[in-house]
Amino acid sequence: MRVVLAEDGVLLRAGLAGLLDRFGFEVVAEAGDAAALRLAVTEHGPDLLLTDIRMPPTFRDEGLRAAVELRRDHPGLAVVALSQYVQYDYASELLGSRDGRGVGYLLKDRVADIEEFVAALRQVAKGGMVVDPQVVRQLLRRPSDPVHRLSPREREVLALIAEGHSNSSVAERLVVSEAAVGKHIGNIFAKLDLPPADDVHRRVLAVLAYLRHNE
């Protein structure tokens, strides 16, 4: 089984690589940041991606965001997120991708048995789902926030709007058409429960929702 391993901690990455090798996995590439992770998956086409969530440069959600994007671009890719944290914004999207097939979310501090961990990786690689119960509990307790309904691209658009960019500027930065930006904005208004009204007013309300979400 061919694996790409993404972890910014050098010692932990080496330890995981040695563990995977001992149990018969082939680590075809290692990555220390999200950019290298994307390149490694594209180049090697692995069966499984094992990735941390918080990676350089901001150490927020780069690994998880990359995993979500790669699952979309590489439908056969199985992914296990291994982290100390539950990242709400993208965890649900990762677990819901491809109807939950070939995906896992495990917490580092709760991995107590090596053989169970390896079995979980094999199960995900075969198309199963493995999620730490603590992850499930935290996701269920997540407070209601309409911004969570937005797709990653819609959140990118809203973030740029919050920075004061016009539709044409957003389109230029994301390398898409203004029509595509307009469609995203319409979806944002709908998902944030902002009924038809003056678009300037709705734009302000959408930005306020985004700022509250990131407080």
Residue 197 phi, psi dihedral angles, 5° rounding: -165, -165
Residue 196 confidence (pLDDT) above 80: no
pLDDT of residue 54: 87
pLDDT of residue 169: 92
Cis peptide before 195 (omega within 30 of 0): no
pLDDT score of 30: 97
Question: Which domains does the chain possess?
Answer: 2-140 (3.40.50.2300), 146-214 (1.10.10.10)
* Inter-residue contact 103 to 124 (CB < 8 Å): yes
Which whole number is the average pLDDT over 44-54? 95
CB contact burial 188-197 (16+ within 10 A = b; e otherwise): bbebbebeee
Q: What does the mean pLDDT of the chain come to?
A: 88
Instruction: Give the residue from 111, 65, 78 showing the smallest Cα distance to 1.
Output: 78
- Answer whether residue 178 shows pLDDT above 90: yes
pTM: 0.67
